[in-house]
């Protein structure tokens, strides 16, 4: 029988551009091993001060719309008090207040319970840090 709590860490390379990376296939693969047909919760957590987790539609432009919205709300300019790194990097440290570094989602019979168009995504606007860790944790009965 599987453990009530199982966790793993993904290593994601986001590259040198702002990205929305779909983690849904990784979540599904993890749950295939960890949940074994059980009900529970999947927690997705990115332990970085400049990245977040979002649940949104991808592939139809919503991921690009999210990045455009973040550019409008958090311009990459010199207004930020946090000034180390690339110009406008202070905005990257504000990102997790708008796109939190975690999400907890229901798992039913071992499958992630998402809506038709929903995906689990890593949102990363920090082009100076291209390597991200994402912790997936399943808590189930």
Q: What CATH number does the domain located at 14-140 have? A: 2.60.120.460
Let me know: does 94 contact 52? Beta carbons within 8 Å.
Answer: no
pLDDT in tens, 12-41: 999 889 999 999 999 999 999 999 999 999
Domain boundaries, the chain: 14-140
Residue 1 has pLDDT above 60, yes or no: no
Sign for the CA dihedral angle at 138, 134, 79, 83 comes to positive
d(CA 114, CA 107): 9
Number of other CB atoms surrounding residue 19 within 10 Å: 21
109 pLDDT band (50/70/90 cuts)? very high
Tell me if 134 sits within 8 A of 22, measured CB to CB.
no
CA dist 13 and 1 (Å) reads 34
- Using the Cα atoms of residue 66, residue 70, residue 71 and residue 76 in order, give the sign of their dihedral: negative
Torsion sign over Cα 52, 64, 113, 30 = negative
- Dihedral angle computed from the Cα positions of residues 132, 118, 58 and 104, in that order, rounded to the nearest 10 degrees: -10
pLDDT digit string, tens, across residues 59-84: 899 999 999 999 999 998 989 998 88
**Whole-prediction pTM value?**
0.94
């Amino acid at each position: 029988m599987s453990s009530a709590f199982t966790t793993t860490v993904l290593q994601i390379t986001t590259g040198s551009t702002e990205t929305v990376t779909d983690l849904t296939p990784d979540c599904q693969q993890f749950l295939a091993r960890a949940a074994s047909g059980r009900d529970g919760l999947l927690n997705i957590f990115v332990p970085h001060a400049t990245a977040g987790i979002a649940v949104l539609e991808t592939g139809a432009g919503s991921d690009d719309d999210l990045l455009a919205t973040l550019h409008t709300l958090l311009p990459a300019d010199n207004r930020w008090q946090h000034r180390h790194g690339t110009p406008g990097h202070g905005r990257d440290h504000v990102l997790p207040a708008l796109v939190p570094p975690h999400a907890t989602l229901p798992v039913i019979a071992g499958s992630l319970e998402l809506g038709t168009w929903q995906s689990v995504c890593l949102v990363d606007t920090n082009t100076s840090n291209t390597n991200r860790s994402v912790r997936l944790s399943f808590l189930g009965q």
